[in-house]
Amino acid sequence: MPNVLVFAETRGADLRKVALEATTAARAFVDANGGGEVHALLAGPSGVAAKAESLGKHGADVVLVCEHASFARYAREAIAATLAARAKSGYRVVFIPFSSNGRDLAPRVAAKLDAPLASDVTSVSMSGDAITVKHPGYANKVIVELTVTGSPAIISLRPSAFTPAEKPHAGKTEAIQPAADPGAERVVVKDVTEGAKGKLDLGEAPVIISGGRGLKAAENFKLVEDLASAFGNAAVGATRAVTDDGWRPHSDQIGQTGRQVSPQLYVAVGISGAIQHLAGMRTARTIVAINKDPEAPIFKVADYGIVGDVLEVLPALTAAVREAKKG
């Protein structure tokens, strides 16, 4: 009967999707191993308690609500102290999303507790007292299966590897206090420069339209953005060639040294398909490639390839997608 503690990540007073993924994963893990309780730690600014209901719906028995004005931003030291303090009370496993902030948090908690940590995990199982996880290592080229000994096992979960599913439990709230003063952080967040409002994050978008040097000029990225907006649920990505040239911000880069994504649909336009780029997107469910060179390596992984000039094909595709969306 393992009990699991989940870090329910927030941004401001909003719950992030990875929080529901981790809660769903925790519920499934507990139910597969003879039952037990799922507790979710929800830290945020005042008002965040309203999000407890959604965690209950996804399987949390108890939601530990920790409200503090300084939790409007990521107060890494106080969050780590609070999660570590709570993790001591008899949990077998702690699930943390392997998001930007979750991957910052998990090693802090593990080091504080001297507890074993497995990162970026796509599946977790338990047999007897042994926990086994799978983790795509070597930039997704090798699946590494790891045995994790010791309690609590800190496990960070790859975003999108688990799909949020409703499985209502009590979601009883319990207010807790921060274990360290969130106003006394040594690392002080001065600013958070939000991207354009309503812009989908690459890690969360079901569709990604990604452009490479084949677009020829920064202004031609307009064609990529047009296709993304025709889909409506799409984010825009880029290759390193393009971010190096400053056509797109570094944060848009997909690949081994950029973001690693697994959308339902990945459209690669004017991208050669270098191995370092493939490392970031080869787990997409469906891949489309548009490239004028039929020998480009991207065609080896593309479910659907079109050989042609992006400047000609993109506008036609955008119009056709708009038409299809109209229904």
Partner 1 sequence: MKIAVCIKRTPDSESRFKVVAGGSGIDEAGLKFDMDDFASYAVEAALQINEKQGPGETIVFAVGPDAIQETLRKAMSMGADRAVHLKADGALFDGLSVATALAAELKGGGYDLILFGKHAFDSSAGVVGTATGELLGLPCVTAVSQLDVGGGKGSARREIEGAGEIVEFPLPAVVTIDEGVARPRYPSLKGIMAAKKKPLETKPAQLGAARVVVKAMELPADRPPGRIIGQGAAAVPELVRLLQEEAKVL
Ligand X SMILES: Cc1cc2nc3c(=O)[nH]c(=O)nc-3n(C[C@H](O)[C@H](O)[C@H](O)COP(=O)(O)OP(=O)(O)OC[C@H]3O[C@@H](n4cnc5c(N)ncnc54)[C@H](O)[C@@H]3O)c2cc1C
Which residues from 169-228 bind ligand X, rule CB under 6 A? Answer: 212-214
Site for partner 1 in 236-275 (CB under 8 A): 240, 250-251, 253, 256-258, 264-265, 275
Structure tokens at 12: 């401001």
Query: Cβ 94 to partner 1, closest distance in Å?
Result: 14
Max alpha carbon distance in the chain (Å)?
Answer: 61
Site for partner 1 in 18-57 (CB under 8 A): none
Indicate the length of the chain as a whole number.
327
Q: CA torsion angle for 39, 43, 45, 50 (degrees, to 10)?
A: -20
Within 8 A by CB and 6+ apart from 177, the residues are 66
Q: C-alpha distances in angstroms, 217 versus 13, 211, 291? A: 39, 11, 15
Tell me which residue of 112, 158, 151 sits closest to 135, measured CA to CA. 158
> Taking CB within 5 to 8 Å according to partner kind, which of ligand X, partner 1, none is near residue 277?
ligand X
Look at strands 62-67 and 153-157 and give their pairing: unpaired
Tell me which residue of 59, 15, 92, 19 sits closest to 171, measured CA to CA. 59
Nearer to partner 1, 2 or 159 (CB): 159
State the Cα–Cα distance between residues 24 and 21, nearest whole angstrom: 5
Among 53, 57, 70, 112, binds partner 1 (CB under 8 A): 112
Interaction between residue 272 and ligand X (CB under 6 A): yes
Site for partner 1 in 165-204 (CB under 8 A): 186-195, 199-204
Among 60, 110, 268, 269, binds partner 1 (CB under 8 A): 110
Interaction between residue 236 and ligand X (CB under 6 A): no
Q: How many positions of this chain bind ligand X (CB under 6 A)?
A: 27
Query: Cβ 280 to ligand X, closest distance in Å?
Result: 6
- Please state the φ and ψ torsions of residue 255, each to the nearest 5 degrees: 145, -170
Burial of 275-299, coded b for 16+ CB within 10 Å and e otherwise, reads: eebbbbbbbbeebbbbbeeeebbbb
Applying CB under 8 A, the span of 25-33, 63-71, 98-106, 208-216 interacting with partner 1 comes to: 98-106
Nearer to partner 1, 35 or 150 (CB): 150
Applying CB under 8 A, the span of 62-70, 144-152, 165-173, 218-226 interacting with partner 1 comes to: 144-152
Query: Cβ 1 to partner 1, closest distance in Å?
Result: 22
Among 145, 181, 245, 293, binds ligand X (CB under 6 A): 293
> Taking CB within 5 to 8 Å according to partner kind, which of ligand X, partner 1, none is near residue 299?
partner 1
If one counts every other C-beta atom within 10 angstroms of the C-beta of residue 221, the result is 19
Please give the helix or strand (H or E) that residue 301 lies within, else none. none
Look at strands 265-269 and 207-211 and give their pairing: parallel
Applying CB under 6 A, the span of 26-34, 65-73, 99-107, 275-283 interacting with ligand X comes to: 275-283
| Residues 150/115, Cβ–Cβ less than 8 Å | yes
Query: Cβ 103 to partner 1, closest distance in Å?
Result: 5
Query: Cβ 281 to ligand X, closest distance in Å?
Result: 9
Interaction between residue 289 and ligand X (CB under 6 A): no
Interaction between residue 305 and ligand X (CB under 6 A): no
Among 14, 145, 174, 245, binds partner 1 (CB under 8 A): 145
- Please state the φ and ψ torsions of residue 110, each to the nearest 5 degrees: -60, -45
Site for partner 1 in 65-84 (CB under 8 A): 73-74, 76, 80
Tell me which residue of 80, 77, 86, 22 sits closest to 54, measured CA to CA. 22
List residues binding ligand X (CB under 6 A): 212-214, 239-242, 253-258, 270-272, 274, 276-277, 280, 291-293, 296, 309-311
